Structure formats: structure tokens, C-alpha cells
Amino acid sequence: MNDPKYSIVFPGREAFYKGLNRSFHDAFPLFRRIYKVASDSLKEDLFRISFVAPGERPDLHTVCLITYCYGIAAVLLSKSKHLSPSAVAGFSQGEFTASTFAGALSLPHVLGLVHRLEKLLLNHSHLINGSMARIVELDRGILEQCCRRIDPDRRAVCIAIYLSSDQNIISGAATEVEQVCRLAKASGARWAIPLNDGAYHSPLCRSIQMMSKPIFDEYRFCETSYPLYSCTDGKASTAGPEILKKLSVQIGMPVLWDTVVENFRKEVISHVFELGPGCTVSANSRLICPELRYMWINSPEDLNHAVEGLAELNKKPMRGH
């Protein structure tokens, strides 16, 4: 009988605004050391931004989230002799966390890279002033038609995150996103739910994609310890240059999360561990493959339960959240 397979996944930037759990920092010396290394590498107080004054320094929010999620993963790895995932992935910007956890790039280098990219994003007013919306219970093909009808040249709005046949996320210029939402409702969508500001993974990101290329070119990604699944095509790789190539264009490409999770299923991965705040990755993944078992880790208690679950994974089915 084959051993059960599992994946570790990390959330994107929106998870920062769900709040980071300081109890990890209080409970685990390794977690505190990781925060010190991260803070020293950037010469910034990431503890303050993460746990004391999260409203400050928007340019460091994603950096703090990556440090936090990587810290959880490092503690989980140190406490479990059974941690050998068959897949690692990150939702949108969570792919940077996945890359450093898998060993493609050291944590200080990933944080330096992401901080530089975040400064580019925050200085791009069209991108920051754009918007996103979740369209619920509308066939994806019809939603594609709505986008094309509003934006025939595909310069302002598109499906940015592919989740399921009838639930997906659009992104782009605020006016065009609002128009697509109205047209989607008129075409039968049950809900069109506005999301956080920012037109990520939309046509508005193409200039950022070009501007960021010289930054990515400064980094050398290494062979990974675990297969890393890319949001750009949903496929796994362990080769550093291939991972770098995909990650460098991710901001301007749709997130094919449905393909990532479907490929988990095809690889007979049965359990998905989400590390970090929000539980959004697990919730979105359930839309695609509800038969997988999902566990969310965002407290020391969750982590201890996961360690116990990993130890028992080969003996009996594990209880998911």
C-alpha cells in the first residue's frame, strides 16, 4: 500500500489583513530567530509591523506575511520527523513563500526580492487603484464573454484567478470591473462580490512585469527539495531556472489555481496543509476538489495537531478542519 501524499500551501498577500497570530512568536524560539534574521536582513522591525502596528509600512506587509508563514513551516519541520511533502504551492504571492520553503532561494533573498517588487507595485497608481471581484455561480465561459464584451482588446479587465467552472475572480481597472460585474449579474451570476483594491494578475500588470524583469535577473534560483507548483501553468518543477522564469511573470498572468489543485488530485495527493492566516486557500481549493482533506494551521494548537496528524497519516485517515 502506498504512503498517503500531502501538500503544503501558503496564502497570498490578502492573508496579512486577516491578522498574524503573535502566539507563534511567543511560543517558539525558532520562530523568533527567523523573525530576527528577516528583520536584520532588511534592517526593518518586522515584529512591529506584523504584530504591533500592522497599519504601518504597506511596502512590508507581504514581506511580513512571508516571514510569518515561513516561520510556521520551519517550526512544523523541526517538530515533525514525518514532514516530506509531495507538493508545495503558494496562492498568488504565496508562491514566494513556497519557493523559499522548497529551497529555491534563501529567506533573506526572497524578502529582499519581494520588498523591491512591492515598492514597484505601490508606485503604480493604475494598478493600486484597480479592483477585483469574485463572480459566483456563473459559467466561466459566459464570464469570459462578459469580459470580452466590456474590453474587446483585453487591456483593462480579465479573469485573474481561475477557481472553478462557476466561481472565479476578475481583475482590472475599477470602471471595467464594475461594468463586468453588472453584466455578469444580468447574465445570471448569483453574486458579484467586490474584493480588496488592486488589479493584481490583470492586464494592468504588464508594465510591472517588464519593469521587474531586471530585478529577477539578479537572482539565481536553486534546485528545490520538493516539487513546487506554479500558479502560471499549474505544473510542478524542481529546476531553479524554470521556477524563476515562471515566478518572474506571475504578476501579469492569471492564477490557474484550479489546475494546481487538479494536479494535486492527479498525483494522488490526499491531504492539503495550509500554513498562515485566513483559511482562504483551503476554502478556494475545496471548490475545486472537495474530496481532498484540508487542514489549516494558524495557531500553536493547530500546529501541534498537524504534527500528530502527520505522525498518524500512514496509520489511519486524518481529521481535517
pLDDT in tens, 232-288: 999 999 999 999 999 999 999 999 999 999 999 999 999 999 999 999 999 999 999
At 320 the pLDDT is: 44
Calpha distance 169→159 (Å, rounded):
6
213 and 67 share one domain: yes
Q: For the CA atoms of the chain, what is the radius of gyration?
A: 19
116 and 38 share one domain: yes
- What percentage of residues in the chain have a pLDDT greater than 70? 96
Q: Is residue 218 part of a domain?
A: yes
Asked whether the beta carbons of 292 and 264 are under 8 A apart, the reply is: yes
At 308 the pLDDT is: 87
- The residue range of the domain holding 12 is 5-124+206-312
Which CATH number fits the domain that encloses residue 80? 3.40.366.10
Calpha distance 66→69 (Å, rounded):
5
Calpha distance 162→291 (Å, rounded):
19
At 91 the pLDDT is: 98
pTM for the whole structure = 0.95
Length of the chain: 321
Domain count, the chain: 2
Considering only residues 274 and 312, tell me which one the structure prediction assigns the higher pLDDT.
274
43 and 192 share one domain: no
Within 13 A of 251's CA, how many CA atoms are on the CB side? 23
Residue 126 in this model has a pLDDT that exceeds 90: no
Calpha distance 302→250 (Å, rounded):
31
The residue among 171, 198, 225 that closes a domain is 198
Q: Is residue 317 part of a domain?
A: no
